[in-house]
Structure 1
Amino acid sequence: MTASPSTDTKTPVAPVAGQHRLGSLGPVGLVLAGCVSVQFGGALAVTLMPRAGAAGVVTLRLVAAAIVLLLVCRPRLRGHSRTDWGTVVVFGIAMGAMNGLFYEAVARIPLGPAVTLEVLGPLALSVLASRRAINVLWAGLALGGVFLLGGGGFGDLDPIGVAFALGAGAMWAAYIVFSARTGRRFPQADGLALAMVVAAVLFLPIGIVSAGTRLLNPTTIALGSAVALLSSVLPYTLELLALRRLPASTFAIMMSLEPAIAATAGFLILGQSLSVPEAAAIALVVAASIGAVRTQVGRGKRLPQAPEA
């Protein structure tokens, strides 16, 4: 299920400070910047998990992100339809579930396979959402790449962790769809801020029960806030802006870059060497992403351009 421009109400977006600078990156640059930010935030989150546990990390991440976005965006609460609110609530539920399921997955299985399995959600969306046969090829290339990156198989992994990772992938696909719809219904990042509040409120009781007073430790709060900025505030804002100009199918295929970026960061920052299958996986994933972008760019050149107001 994809967002339809013919049925979704489009809200005029007023220019705000910094938005033009972000927009100058182009939708592809916004997505790539968001991917890099997520990987650094994920690395920091791994160091935080012994302090607060998976549910505690997610709670800190969502609550801190909600506070930051509310202060920065100061979203308008009046003047929205029931459909607008329904969209933002579902977006918030998908966001919270995606984060919760993924962190439960990485608590049970290694990060690489977890990301690889999670990416299957956006890949499936790319095939279902696209009406062009060529995108099936790009999705197939990316799918082969993520499986190579995962070592070619997942038989030795904790089945509960695998189930959590696949569930996170399904919620990631829902996040893509409803992020696009929210971006069309709310100006700037107002919808994102409201959805983050929904996710934080829904997850807060789980975090309190799981982590308790550990959530009040100043160091834990500081680290959780940093994770929120790197893994939620910055990448979600960049993705929301990108999805206003990038089809959900193309965006979903580009999300297959996540495992490749993680492997590259491990090599450059942590000194982890890449095997031949891992290098081949990165090549396949990058090829799929470039192909998806080139297909979209070529399509845009063939479409008539609307006159500027």
Structure 2
Amino acid sequence: MQRDGRASAVALVGLGLLCQEVGASFGVLMFGLTNPVAVVAFRLVFAAMILLIVTRPRVRSFAGRQWRGIVLLGVVLTTMNVAFYLALERLALGVTVTIEVLGPLVLAVVMAKKKRAWLWAGLAFVGVAALGGGGWDRLDPLGVMFALIAGASWAGYILAAARVGREVAGVSGLALAMTVGAVIVLPAALVIDAPAFINPTIILLGLGVAVLSSVIPYTAELFALRKITESTFSVLMSLGPATASIVGWLVLGQHLTVLEIAGIVLVVAASMGAVLAAGRTAPPAEPVA
């Protein structure tokens, strides 16, 4: 039963990654119509609306500890998304996610309790470095900085989402965290580009970004984090650069070099090793009702 649970968790992570990067590519297409902060606002506002309608959370039933976890997750989500799209405005999708994934990888190394976990994390780190394609010196410094901030926030998201997943049943906590994020970012987006919010094309693209980049992946990841440990999840998320590079090539025409392909192979190998290692690691505790 536990093995089946871990297998389903891995499948959820894979689904979340694919949707995440396809949604990110839609976000790139929006850059010609509006700015990154507005893209994040559309993503969080629509995602919050959808999840609130589906879950209908009983906000009065939550304890103070649960609310603190929800607010923390909302703040981390907002920081991660804003930094990610600001980086994506300056860097290719695959490169952005390659730098961003360093956050989860560092978390995986810090939380590792077995030498084998360190081996897989190290192999994934080599793959991430190779995915740079030897062109790190040509990267926009500001874009790199935003991608690093997104990576640090991603590590924080993993910890915060795991906490909310344990303390709040279902996806109500995620719905409220999205709402917190929407409240934070929407005023800034309206100040920067209010006309975008009455443009039908931008609204439709924003809805697509919200569903693909937030609703599906975050829900999938929240359930996955109930069956596998944060460290295993972190290494699995190293598939992100590979997925992003492939989606960037197919959707945005961003081609891969031989070195980048080699990096993808290393990252996939490391992720497979993490899946095998997960069979010997106990999953986190079930969420509190």
In percent, how many aligned pairs have the same letter?
A: 48
Q: Is this contact kept in 1: 2:92–2:254, CA < 8 A?
A: no
- Write out aligned runs for 1:1-309 (5 A): 26-267=8-249, 274-299=256-281
Give secondary structure in 1 for the equivalent of 2:9.
helix
1:40 to partner: Cα distance: 1.1
Q: Is this contact kept in 2: 1:117–1:169, CA < 8 A?
A: yes
1:153 to partner: Cα distance: 4.8
2-structure distance, mates of 1:170, 1:272: 25
Q: Is this contact kept in 1: 2:93–2:245, CA < 8 A?
A: no
Sort the Cα spacing of 1:114 and 1:269 in 2 relative to 1 into closer, same or farther, 3 A: closer
Sort the Cα spacing of 1:266 and 1:55 in 2 relative to 1 into closer, same or farther, 3 A: closer
* TM-score scaled by length of structure 1: 0.86
Q: Is this contact kept in 1: 2:124–2:267, CA < 8 A?
A: yes
1:275 to partner: Cα distance: 2.8
Q: Is this contact kept in 1: 2:38–2:190, CA < 8 A?
A: yes
Q: How many residues align?
A: 279
Q: Is this contact kept in 2: 1:141–1:284, CA < 8 A?
A: yes
1:280 to partner: Cα distance: 1.1
Listed as ranges, the gaps of 5+ residues in structure 2 are 284-289
Q: Give deviations 1:258-287, integer Å, cap 9, x for gaps.
A: 110122334556676543212211110011
1-structure distance, mates of 2:252, 2:136: 24
Q: Give deviations 1:81-134, integer Å, cap 9, x for gaps.
A: 211110110000000110000101111222222111100000001011221221
Give secondary structure in 2 for the equivalent of 1:55.
helix
Q: Is this contact kept in 2: 1:102–1:114, CA < 8 A?
A: yes
2-structure distance, mates of 1:74, 1:162: 39
1-structure distance, mates of 2:277, 2:234: 14
Greater displacement, 289-298 / 271-280: 271-280
2-structure distance, mates of 1:296, 1:183: 19
Q: AA paired with 1:161?
A: G
1:79 to partner: Cα distance: 2.1
1-structure distance, mates of 2:271, 2:103: 16
Give secondary structure in 2 for the equivalent of 1:103.
helix
Sort the Cα spacing of 1:272 and 1:207 in 2 relative to 1 into closer, same or farther, 3 A: closer
2-structure distance, mates of 1:240, 1:67: 18
Q: AA paired with 1:138?
A: W
Q: AA paired with 1:187?
A: A
Give secondary structure in 2 for the equivalent of 1:51.
coil
Q: AA paired with 1:176?
A: I
Q: AA paired with 1:246?
A: I
Structure 1 vs Structure 2 CA RMSD: 1.8
Listed as ranges, the gaps of 5+ residues in structure 1 are 1-22, 304-309
1:298 to partner: Cα distance: 3.5
Sort the Cα spacing of 1:269 and 1:159 in 2 relative to 1 into closer, same or farther, 3 A: closer
Greater displacement, 172-181 / 215-224: 215-224
* TM-score scaled by length of structure 2: 0.92
2-structure distance, mates of 1:254, 1:78: 36
Give secondary structure in 2 for the equivalent of 1:188.
coil
